[in-house]
A = this chain, B = another copy of it.
Amino acid sequence: MSHCTHHDHCLAHALDQAETLCQSHGARLTPLRRRVLELIWASHEAVKAYDILSRLSTEDHTVKPPTVYRALDFLLEQGLVHRVDSLNAFVGCSHPDEPHEARLLICTRCGRVDELATPELDDAIARALAPTGFQPTRARLEIHGLCADCAKKTS
């Protein structure tokens, strides 16, 4: 998944997974919601709500902001996308089958966003939190820098 020579596969896989997941959750992946997810998965970069809006607009001029934000809300609820707070943007979740917090690696050169899924990190956060008495409900980590590919090219 890290090197994606045939991005169509990522896209198709993401959509398949979304269908399956929504069915098992009794959630309705409507054509609109599916289309938005598709636009988000058009790349591995974070996509802005208004970019989705303008792309949808070329197909259907009636689309307005609430349409997009509602679809995004749905996708967020289903865990199919993550919001990238530091960019006001949205990115497809690479493993929506098991719910998790967003741990994002954001390349400042190519824009690619990857997820960092390691239990060790979660443990470390839990351990750091323990002595504080803080009861977490949501923990989001966003790391900016150069992805491995871009680091190579730049060095």
Contacts and interface: CB of A to CB of B under 8 A. Distances in A.
B144 A138 contact: yes
A140 B141 contact: yes
A58 interface: no
Q: Which of A86, A121, A123, A134 has the most CB of B within 10 A?
A: A134
Contacts of A127: 120
A77 interface: no
A142 interface: yes
A115 to B, nearest CB: 10
A125 interface: yes
B136 A143 contact: yes
A24 interface: no
9 contacts: A85-B142, A116-B128, A124-B124, A129-B143, A132-B148, A135-B146, A138-B143, A139-B144, A140-B141
Interface of A: 85-86, 105, 107-108, 114, 116, 118, 120-121, 123-125, 127-129, 132-148, 151
